[in-house]
Structure formats: structure tokens, C-alpha cells
Amino acid sequence: MLLHITPAERAALQLLADGRSSREIAERLRVSESRIEAHLRGLFAKMGASTRTEAVTAAVRRGLLLPESYPTLGRKHSSSAGSAILAVISQQREERPEAESVR
């Protein structure tokens, strides 16, 4: 299924994957925190996610975030969230071993 996300949603997702808070994302993108929350709500709805962890995990599964591009992916999140994200990354690498050889 093709998922259309806006450039603003993609930028917020990338920073979310890096473990940034809504406030940090807003500062980085130079918009209000409420604007970021709106982008994240839209993104969560499109991905069927209800938490940040679910959104990042879904993005990795859908290929919207490539683990190779985010060396800290899953490591800056709470231990349970980080573990869930790292498990998906590990599964993706097992399914696509060529992704490891690209490094």
C-alpha cells in the first residue's frame, strides 16, 4: 500500500526516529510545537500508529526510514521502545541481508 506523507511529516518522522521530543523537533524545524503535534497526529493516523514507537517501527517496516541512515535508531528511545525498534531493524536485516553489505 502506497503511503503519501508530506515533506513536513517526513522531516518530523526523521527527527522522531532520532529520539527527539516534539519540542526539539519544533525548534529544529523552526515551527511551533503544536504544528509538530499536528504533523505527528496526521502521520500516526496514516500509519495506524498510536505511539511514537509504533510510528517509527511502522516507518522502518514500510521502508520510509532506512536503519542504515540512522545509526542511533532505537538507542535514544526508552528501553522498551528502543528494544521494539531494534527488533524490527534486526528482522529487516535478516530479511534483506544485502542491506548490511551496502555499508
Sorted by where each starts, the structural domains of the chain and their CATH numbers stand as: 7-101 (1.10.10.10)
Q: Which of 30, 26, 27 is nearest to 39 (CA)?
A: 26
Instruction: For residues 17-36, give the mean pLDDT.
Output: 92
pLDDT digits (tens, 9 = 90+) for 40-89: 999 999 999 998 888 888 888 888 887 666 655 555 555 555 566 666 66
Arithmetic mean of pLDDT over the chain? 77
- Share of residues in the chain with pLDDT > 90 (%): 28
Please say whether the beta carbons of 19 and 76 come within 8 A.
yes
Residue 37 has pLDDT above 80, yes or no: yes
Q: Which of 86, 47, 50 is nearest to 67 (CA)?
A: 86
Q: How far is CA 43 from CA 13, 36, 64, 81, 101, in A?
A: 8, 10, 12, 18, 31
- Share of residues in the chain with pLDDT > 70 (%): 62
